Amino acid sequence: MIQKPTPLNEEYHFKKGLIISSTDLEGIITYANRKFCDISGYDRNELIGRNHHILRHPDMPKSIFKSLWTSLNQAEEWTGVIKNLRKDGKYYWVYSYITPNMNDHGKVIGYTAARRPASKTEIDESVSIYAELSTQENTTE
């Protein structure tokens, strides 16, 4: 079992490319493209069969993922900025587009996410919003 890395206060920058992954209904990774492996620092074999939350950075408010899963469970698309955690503990920012995968009968059978590097503006806006959300979450726990 892969142990979640200790976060470092060091950003990993990537300028180009599209990270693509697919998961089952529970968020277990079923597909990871080469760019996903490169950016996350994990080998494909380390990602396939693992829950996508292995990449969840502790700075991310829980409410963002609650919103994400609410949308996906209603067979809706979701977009947003996410701070992810690499295998080496560095973080990276992505703009995510996640869509449900449907079978021939219209039933959701999994999800596919396409992620690009988040822009400086997207990151700056998200940092302040996420800090406020995290503060609210920490005061209500």
Residues 119-131: what's their mean pLDDT? Answer: 94
**Bridge partner residues of 79 (DSSP):** 97
Strands (E), 1-141: 19-23, 29-32, 78-85, 91-102, 108-117
Confidence of residue 139 (pLDDT cuts 50, 70, 90): confident
Handedness of CA 39, 59, 77, 45 (dihedral sign): positive
Picking from 21, 22, 53, 25, the residue whose alpha carbon sits closest to that of residue 35 is: 21
pLDDT at 80 over 80: yes
The domain over range 19-140 is classified in CATH as 3.30.450.20: yes
pLDDT at 1 over 70: no
pTM of the entire structure? 0.92
pLDDT at 2 over 80: no
- All structural domains of the chain with their residue ranges: 19-140
Residues 16-34: what's their mean pLDDT? Answer: 97
Q: If phi over 0 gives left and psi between -120 and 50 gives alpha, with beta otherwise, what is residue 67? A: alpha
pLDDT at 30 over 90: yes
- Average pLDDT of the chain? 94
Say what the pLDDT of residue 141 is: 60
Coil, helix or strand at residue 88: coil
